[in-house]
């Protein structure tokens, strides 16, 4: 097939590198070049009728780049496709505007901080890829002249949109719209004109919306082709205006995925959770630092995936999470009836999580399959019934395990549980008092500092296939018997346990001899192994609130 492709392409197509630059002929129309030696690159100038040029430079000579790019652009007026990868130049030459036939321009230039105005004369341009230009913060003012542009991909740190962006009515794909602060930049209202946007869109800089009454409701509500939307604030300073802005943005019912970043309000508007969100399948709330109450999401009938991260003011999950103030359990609609995955991460003040008062058994989270609790160190209560839960994954939830239902109640509470993962958790009652459901197929224990042994009832876990134990330094022995179904056993850095598992001679070797796949990696630091004051595990999370920096905020003030 490769030989056939070469035969068909003939002398019109060439994939070149430093070793075969000289084979380039004037007849070549489509050329790709991967190389380091830019002196050899000059041999490619013979192909003056190029339609496609794709270059990946693997060197670091910025000086040579500047001088080679100029003649390349001046003599390639027939180019339709131009892709430059790893060109370390700060500014494109003005001659880029001479490529009048150019339809596709892709720039992956990490140091590029300026696009010349001449690019706005490329009236045939349909695709402009700038998302690899990581330090570019502004676009040319007259970019609205590119009336045939259909795909515009912008870098992450773009600060504002040019005032004519609303003229690009042919845009099919726009990955990012940045609301700026200066008078000469586009307002969010110009998004209204871009009615044909498809796929994914991020709106950043929402704190810069000047007037909430500026008809914000029409900006997004007619964008029926958008499937994924990200709303991002760049500063954490809250005000009533931020809540009004979020409440004023009406979404089209076809939207499937919504992410909200750095929302600075103290609570969410009633819009979040109402019928306009009824078709949302995936919802993520990130780093809403001032929020103390979760929005009423329980009635989002299509919601399957929910992630809530770094809402540091939330202390309790209660009935407000399941129903809005206007609704109630009397409505007969089960909350979270479609939810399949739920992740709660870095809710540092969260202490209590409960079902609604009077809720019938099984009425909440009837389809939840995966629950991840990460860095919720104060969480002390957990709802007691998840009928469909397959995966329970806990990290740095030091107080939660002792209150998970134990004994015979575990099979009732989690009748479908197949995977249990515990990382840096201190309660060991669940594991030493026969409290595990017999449906378990996989157990993973890491950095469980107070765990000294596993219950002998492990032999009753007749479905268990994988057991992973890592960095449990106090653990001294295995149960007297492990289930015959166990096929994979991994034990890493359990210094007190490892000597007992030595092949043939270890005291516990007969317990694991029947297991087909056994991996044991002892910690060879004898001094640490014998130290009675060993801290057992590092603190994987800072005790102080660990809030990620907002990359958009120059001050990173929280």
Give the CATH number for residue 31. Answer: 3.80.10.10
Alpha-carbon distance 453 to 508, whole Å?
A: 13
Cβ neighbours for 1, distance < 8 A, ≥ 6 positions apart: none
Determine, yes or no, domain membership for 234.
Answer: no
Alpha-carbon distance 162 to 128, whole Å?
A: 15
Q: Is 98 helix (H, G, I), strand (E, B) or coil?
A: helix
Mean pLDDT over the full length of the chain: 82
Give residue 536's pLDDT: 41
Determine, yes or no, domain membership for 171.
Answer: no
**Range from 186-200, 327-341, 379-393, 482-496 carrying the lowest mean pLDDT:** 327-341
Determine, yes or no, domain membership for 306.
Answer: no
Alpha-carbon distance 264 to 291, whole Å?
A: 7
- Number of Cβ atoms within 10 Å of the Cβ of 222: 12
Which residues face 257 on adjacent strands? 228, 282
Number of domains the chain is built from: 2
pLDDT digits (tens, 9 = 90+) for 314-339: 999 988 898 876 555 545 567 899 99
Burial readout 150-188 (b: 16 or more C-beta within 10 A, e: otherwise): bbbebbeebbbbbbbbbbbeebbbbbbbbbbeeeebbbb
Q: Is the predicted pLDDT of residue 529 greater than 50, yes or no?
A: no
Residues in the chain: 558
Let me know: does 427 contact 406? Beta carbons within 8 Å.
no
Nearest CA to 108 among 78, 138, 80, 128?
Answer: 128
Determine, yes or no, domain membership for 64.
Answer: yes
Q: Is the predicted pLDDT of residue 1 greater than 60, yes or no?
A: no
Q: Is the dihedral of CA 459, 461, 463, 469 positive or negative?
A: negative
The residue range of the domain holding 104 is: 6-158
Q: Select from 110, 136, 158 the last residue of a domain.
A: 158
Q: Is the predicted pLDDT of residue 433 greater than 60, yes or no?
A: no
Determine, yes or no, domain membership for 547.
Answer: no
Nearest CA to 126 among 109, 104, 154, 153?
Answer: 104
Determine, yes or no, domain membership for 208.
Answer: no
Most confident of 83-92, 111-120, 392-401: 111-120
pLDDT digits (tens, 9 = 90+) for 52-85: 888 887 666 555 566 667 777 776 678 899 998 8
Tokens in use for 85?
Answer: 């990868």
- Across the range 110-122, mean pLDDT stands at 92
Nearest CA to 158 among 96, 241, 234?
Answer: 234
Let me know: does 457 contact 478? Beta carbons within 8 Å.
no
- Across the range 185-207, mean pLDDT stands at 92
pLDDT digits (tens, 9 = 90+) for 354-386: 876 545 455 689 999 999 999 999 998 778 788
- Number of Cβ atoms within 10 Å of the Cβ of 420: 20
Tokens in use for 128?
Answer: 């402009």
Give residue 31's pLDDT: 82
Rounded-to-10 torsion of CA 531, 536, 541, 545: -80
Burial (CB count within 10 angstroms: exposed 0-12, middle 13-18, buried 19+), residue 520: middle
Would strands 176-178 and 199-204 be described as parallel, antiparallel, or unpaired?
parallel
Q: Select from 108, 134, 158 the last residue of a domain.
A: 158
Q: Select from 137, 158, 179 the last residue of a domain.
A: 158
Alpha-carbon distance 286 to 288, whole Å?
A: 6
Which residues face 421 on adjacent strands? 393, 444
Alpha-carbon distance 60 to 111, whole Å?
A: 12
Give residue 541's pLDDT: 54
Give the Cα-Cα-Cα angle 523, 525, 527 (nearest 5 degrees). Answer: 135
Nearest CA to 371 among 299, 415, 420, 431?
Answer: 420
Place of tokens 């002390």: 380
Give residue 7's pLDDT: 44
DSSP conformation class of 320 = G
Determine, yes or no, domain membership for 519.
Answer: yes
Rounded-to-10 torsion of CA 176, 177, 178, 184: 140
Supply the pTM of this predicted model: 0.87
SS (H, E, C) 423-475: ECCCCCHHHHCCCCCCCCCEEEEECCCCCCECCHHHHHCCCCCEEEEECCCCC
Give residue 118's pLDDT: 94
Determine, yes or no, domain membership for 43.
Answer: yes
pLDDT > 90: percent of the chain: 42
Give residue 238's pLDDT: 66
pLDDT digits (tens, 9 = 90+) for 238-267: 678 888 889 888 888 899 999 999 999 888
- Across the range 166-172, mean pLDDT stands at 95
Which residues face 372 on adjacent strands? 343, 393
Give residue 213's pLDDT: 67
């Amino acid at each position: 097939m490769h030989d056939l492709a070469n035969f068909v392409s003939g002398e019109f197509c060439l994939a070149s590198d430093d070793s075969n630059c000289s084979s380039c002929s004037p007849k070549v129309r489509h050329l790709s070049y991967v190389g380091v030696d830019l002196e050899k690159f000059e041999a490619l100038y013979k192909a003056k009728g190029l339609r496609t040029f794709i270059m990946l430079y693997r060197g670091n000579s910025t000086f040579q780049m500047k001088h080679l790019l100029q003649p390349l652009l001046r003599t390639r007026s027939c180019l339709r496709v131009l892709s430059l990868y790893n060109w370390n130049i700060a500014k494109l030459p003005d001659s880029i505007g001479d490529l009048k036939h150019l339809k596709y321009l892709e720039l992956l230039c990490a140091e590029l901080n300026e696009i010349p105005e001449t690019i706005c004369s490329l009236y045939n341009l349909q695709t402009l890829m700038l998302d690899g230009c990581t330090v570019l913060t502004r676009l040319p003012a007259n970019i609205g002249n590119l009336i045939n542009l259909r795909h515009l991909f912008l870098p992450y740190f773009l600060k504002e949109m040019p005032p004519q962006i609303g003229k690009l009515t042919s845009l099919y794909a726009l990955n990012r719209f940045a609301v700026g602060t200066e008078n000469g930049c586009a307002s969010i209202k110009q998004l209204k004109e871009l009615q044909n946007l498809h796929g994914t869109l991020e709106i950043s800089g929402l704190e810069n919306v000047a007037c909430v009454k500026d008809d914000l409701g029409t900006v997004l509500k007619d964008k029926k082709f958008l499937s994924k939307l990200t709303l991002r604030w760049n500063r954490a300073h809250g005000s009533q205006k931020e809540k009004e802005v979020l409440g004023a943005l009406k979404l089209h019912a076809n939207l499937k995925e919504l992410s909200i970043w750095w929302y600075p309000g103290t609570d969410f508007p009633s819009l979040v959770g109402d019928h306009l969100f009824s078709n949302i399948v995936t919802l993520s709330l990130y780093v809403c630092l001032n929020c103390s109450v979760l929005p009423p999401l329980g009635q989002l009938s299509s919601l399957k995936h929910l992630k809530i991260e770094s809402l540091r003011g939330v202390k309790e999950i209660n009935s407000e999470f399941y129903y809005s103030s206007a609704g109630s359990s009397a409505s007969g609609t089960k909350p979270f009836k479609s939810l399949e995955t739920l992740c709660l991460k870095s809710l540092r003040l969260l202490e209590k999580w409960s079902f609604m008062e009077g809720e019938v058994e099984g009425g909440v989270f009837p389809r939840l399959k995966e629950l991840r609790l990460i860095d919720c160190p104060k969480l002390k209560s957990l709802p007691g019934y998840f009928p469909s839960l397959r995966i329970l994954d806990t990290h740095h939830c030091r107080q939660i395990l002792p209150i998970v239902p134990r004994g015979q109640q575990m099979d009732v509470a989690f009748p479908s549980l197949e995977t249990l993962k515990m990382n840096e958790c201190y309660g060991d009652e669940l594991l030493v008092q026969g409290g595990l459901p017999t449906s378990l197929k996989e157990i993973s224990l890491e950095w469980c500092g107070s765990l000294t042994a596993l219950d002998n009832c492990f032999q009753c876990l007749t479905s268990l296939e994988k057991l992973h134990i890592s960095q449990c330094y106090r653990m001294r022995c295995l149960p007297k018997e492990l289930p015959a179904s166990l096929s994979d056993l991994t034990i890493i850095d359990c210094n007190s346990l490892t000597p007992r598992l030595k092949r043939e001679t270890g005291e516990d070797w007969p317990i694991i001899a029947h297991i087909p796949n056994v991996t044991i990696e002892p910690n060879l630091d004898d001094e640490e192994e014998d130290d009675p004051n060993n801290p057992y595990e590092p603190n994987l999370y800072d005790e102080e609130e660990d809030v990620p920096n907002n990359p958009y905020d120059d001050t990173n003030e929280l």
